[in-house]
Structure 1
């Protein structure tokens, strides 16, 4: 039995595969961290293009010849510099010098049935000269498929979402599944190297604690806005005659009034998104959903905080009064959306992008965003969500890759200026145009908004562009749900971001191989314990005082050890 198989099987005894949201990042390697966006890889000539900006910028009716020039060549002279740091423009690796087809494994998306026919990926293949064969397991079978793939040793060239490996990317490298790319990045991934090094946050969140570069991460030009919170139907405010609530007491009064005027289940509390523990309501009590930074900058566990019983008593009362949706413990996404558009619901805990599609666009229901509740008037609203310019997905190259240089070139294109345009905005002409300043945008007749197949924007944003990918994700400008005519979801997200304290947010830390399995074991046990106790207490199946037993069991289970593992990882992150 091979090294990978032995380790995988031993870890699976500990827990099911945990998808880490932490970044593999680390201490600064001075020899490899001096690149700038203008750096050219040694011994490669810079590719020069004829300036076509006067023909493309501001052109609302491009000719076929102009479309071909934009879509079928690397010419990017018409694109402006929109961000503080310039996006790299190294195209010297394309078209790739050899005929190669890369196998890329990735989880399936139910709204993208066949990645091999995705328009953006076909365009990338044409421009780079690198063919790709996507391997996607059936939806819902990703974990089992990943386990079988790793344990068999039959690896593809590239794996998307490689953090699925027990222990994360670093464990995958140590076990011989993934390649350590540290010594190859500067030579074979000049765009990624330049982009990640052009900003300290991007650099810090894409390198391991030991200074290694193990994969390609989705890294943005900015810290993305908060994406999840309290959303209220405007008609509910009108019917109740009340203002947007702020304190827990005000929220209680508002929800009771909503019930009086006809909303039978006014607050959609949700389940599968984890709304119970996202720090929206519980955060008012300092009972954050998971780990957070306390006032001293140390890692603490939200469910173990002093006001947890007060929070649980509040939610138990709200549930008893019928202020929550009755199926909050079991409802899936489709059930939640069906409730949202019905007359039952007045308030959603969700993304304003999603609700702009379901509420406003599809059902003409206007809504407003509310800051996370606070316990006392005058307290600052807060959230443990903070974007550290790490976003989208990651990719790792496996030890079975047949052409590592080609794999790196294919991924590196995503971090070039041309790659940024295509992956975020799709095809020029049918999807996007370029304004007078060189900024891509979706015109009103774009396929994004007027799909020939009649799909809603919530689907076309995945169908015609890459929404979550190892690339330079330009969420604020290229998410069609945000930038659509009449959309105010971006305004809500920006409002939340600018008016909520995020000082307690934990950055994307990583664990050592030894820490990872123990952290996963303890984390799974604590999560299960929390879920069972909190849900039963809120539903009234257990008294609020049962929390004392919960806390005792959590400590016996190894809560202190769990926190010490996180604190050690945070200390290393701070030293990167």
Structure 2
């Protein structure tokens, strides 16, 4: 849920058919070669509480969620984990990286692996961030293959997987190995509980000062040409009324937010598919067109000149300080929070979203997954060095049971929610927090219902997290883009492919990011684009595309 559009939602699977999850199903899981967690014990059908007769402690590596960090220093402060300890007898000792920056998290993770002091549980993106992918992590003795553990000690997850073939497909590598316990959530179930007659499930996108548009008699922009006219008007016509002409027409929070704009040209800032052909966005002719436009906007002062160095606090100050005209962000952590904060200061402020921008004559694209998914290989894995693999599997599985799902999603009855006609409803402490916290920030004190870790989200949470009328409007607008070019989740290269592609992309992505800034800021002229393309080719980008194509083809052939 943050920064780049690929993060807006985090590690997810569908909650669809949850009722059937708890009603039946023998396992149809395939066992990969080399699976080592054999046991003569009979498979359990329910999770016994407490799980252990004597208390034990499991250590877990997990990066802090920004919504949690707003009020707490450690996940142990969250009420859900205190309650889980009471119910299960298992205490979790959380290990948080010192920084929430992606590069810093990866660096601390690598140092931890190199030290050999690996905690019992690890929340990580095993496809994108582990060199060699999940199968390599298993081969190296970092994490366990979970097939036997799930089969014997995780009845709720096993039934969940059997409830929908897409879930079963997306949770595995090509050889059938299960490697994480995912967060599960429900785009289709969201539609059933959303009171909006035209429900949608899209939680990240473009946001704009609607009151500024109305003041200048402008329509909401759709095409890139529309956006150019709107941004010029925001720059020159002082819609804030400050008299200073200090408006920032487009205010990205870092380079990652600005990189989202390349999607208007029908490409992604990474891999995507065009039909069944895998492509790499920054290695296309369309990418040159996007850079040409963004460089023009930057030169004309339409983009915040400090965008590359803007952190979260500076970004907030620019938006809440009535200077920013447009930006990208999430439905709740960004949009909903700004609606509440800015309306409290000035009731005339209006925020809204726009459809994903597109080039005139083409169509709007989304590159977020809008279906059942385990996003890009993320979730909680069990360490190969854990002495408590069985107990860990049972503790994680509790989150997929009805009572565990409710606890993880809504928190503590009477403190963060109450039951109304059999349905959980967030309390005013959460939906209208007296300290001015957003719904997700307030909810994060009690549960993980705003996203992250391993459990099934109770679907009623969605329309309550998106309860503001403005949020209901914005998610419908964001939904307008086509998902035709989105890569499916769970595409996993082989160990050999992962090692090779990681080596290639390490150089390619660093160079891509450096050149993005230089092209946009005018430090490298667009006339050098052909040389940029030659450099990417020399770094092996075409080999990386072939690897991703092969992995995609295998994924599509999975049964």
Question: With structure 2 as the length reference, what TM-score do the two structures score?
Answer: 0.81
Check the 8 A contact 2:221/2:230 in 1, yes or no: yes
Check the 8 A contact 2:235/2:302 in 1, yes or no: yes
Instruction: Give matches, 1:417-436, under 5 Å.
Output: 417-436=402-421
Q: 1:222 aligns with which of 181, 187, 193?
A: 187
Q: If you compute each CA radius of gyration, which structure gives the higher value, 1 or 2?
A: 1
Say whether 1:528 aligns with 2:510: yes
String of CA shifts for 1:211-250, please: whole Å, max 9, x gaps. Answer: 1112211122336832222211121111210111122111
Check the 8 A contact 1:104/1:156 in 2, yes or no: yes
SS at match of 1:268: coil
**CA–CA distance in 2 between the matches of 1:552 and 1:267?**
34
Check the 8 A contact 2:266/2:365 in 1, yes or no: no
Check the 8 A contact 1:383/1:505 in 2, yes or no: yes
Quote the residue 2:295 is aligned against.
316
Say whether 1:384 aligns with 2:367: yes
Quote the residue 1:353 is aligned against.
332
**CA–CA distance in 1 between the matches of 2:49 and 2:208?**
50
Quote the residue 2:174 is aligned against.
209
**CA–CA distance in 1 between the matches of 2:139 and 2:405?**
32
Q: 1:372 aligns with which of 320, 342, 356?
A: 356
Using the TM superposition, give the Cα deviation of residue 477 of structure 1 relative to its aligned residue in structure 2, in angstroms: 3.6
Using the TM superposition, give the Cα deviation of residue 209 of structure 1 relative to its aligned residue in structure 2, in angstroms: 0.8
Give the unaligned 5+ runs of structure 2: 1-6, 14-19, 28-43, 191-200, 240-245, 344-348
Check the 8 A contact 1:103/1:156 in 2, yes or no: yes
Quote the residue 2:482 is aligned against.
501
Using the TM superposition, give the Cα deviation of residue 456 of structure 1 relative to its aligned residue in structure 2, in angstroms: 4.3
**CA–CA distance in 2 between the matches of 1:355 and 1:133?**
30
**CA–CA distance in 1 between the matches of 2:453 and 2:180?**
9
Quote the residue 2:214 is aligned against.
238
Shift in CA distance, 157/517, structure 1 to aligned 2, threshold 3 Å: same
String of CA shifts for 1:249-301, please: whole Å, max 9, x gaps. Answer: 111111111222215444334253612322xx32232342111111x311001
Say whether 1:469 aligns with 2:447: no
Using the TM superposition, give the Cα deviation of residue 447 of structure 1 relative to its aligned residue in structure 2, in angstroms: 4.5
Quote the residue 1:547 is aligned against.
529
Quote the residue 1:93 is aligned against.
48
Quote the residue 1:336 is aligned against.
315
Check the 8 A contact 2:144/2:179 in 1, yes or no: yes
Say whether 1:272 aligns with 2:257: no
**CA–CA distance in 2 between the matches of 1:382 and 1:460?**
33
**CA–CA distance in 1 between the matches of 2:132 and 2:11?**
12
SS at match of 1:161: strand
Shift in CA distance, 272/200, structure 1 to aligned 2, threshold 3 Å: farther
Shift in CA distance, 491/238, structure 1 to aligned 2, threshold 3 Å: closer
Check the 8 A contact 2:234/2:249 in 1, yes or no: no
Question: With structure 1 as the length reference, what TM-score do the two structures score?
Answer: 0.79
**CA–CA distance in 1 between the matches of 2:59 and 2:365?**
43
Quote the residue 2:159 is aligned against.
194
**CA–CA distance in 1 between the matches of 2:312 and 2:227?**
24
Quote the residue 2:543 is aligned against.
561
Shift in CA distance, 268/481, structure 1 to aligned 2, threshold 3 Å: farther
Say whether 1:158 aligns with 2:121: yes
String of CA shifts for 1:348-378, please: whole Å, max 9, x gaps. Answer: 122232333442111113211111122125x
Say whether 1:127 aligns with 2:87: yes
**CA–CA distance in 2 between the matches of 1:496 and 1:435?**
31
Check the 8 A contact 1:23/1:510 in 2, yes or no: no
Quote the residue 2:426 is aligned against.
442
Using the TM superposition, give the Cα deviation of residue 434 of structure 1 relative to its aligned residue in structure 2, in angstroms: 1.7
**CA–CA distance in 2 between the matches of 1:92 and 1:307?**
53
Using the TM superposition, give the Cα deviation of residue 409 of structure 1 relative to its aligned residue in structure 2, in angstroms: 0.8
**CA–CA distance in 2 between the matches of 1:335 and 1:184?**
46
Say whether 1:459 aligns with 2:414: no
SS at match of 2:318: helix
Q: 1:401 aligns with which of 365, 386, 409?
A: 386
Using the TM superposition, give the Cα deviation of residue 145 of structure 1 relative to its aligned residue in structure 2, in angstroms: 3.4
Using the TM superposition, give the Cα deviation of residue 159 of structure 1 relative to its aligned residue in structure 2, in angstroms: 1.6
Check the 8 A contact 1:457/1:480 in 2, yes or no: no
**CA–CA distance in 1 between the matches of 2:254 and 2:235?**
24
**CA–CA distance in 2 between the matches of 1:346 and 1:454?**
23
Using the TM superposition, give the Cα deviation of residue 135 of structure 1 relative to its aligned residue in structure 2, in angstroms: 2.7
**CA–CA distance in 2 between the matches of 1:162 and 1:389?**
17
After alignment, is 298-307 or 158-167 more displaced?
Answer: 158-167
- When the two structures are aligned, how many residues end up with a matched partner? 493
Give the unaligned 5+ runs of structure 1: 1-18, 26-34, 43-88
**CA–CA distance in 2 between the matches of 1:433 and 1:317?**
53
Check the 8 A contact 1:158/1:395 in 2, yes or no: yes
Shift in CA distance, 128/564, structure 1 to aligned 2, threshold 3 Å: same
**CA–CA distance in 1 between the matches of 2:205 and 2:12?**
28
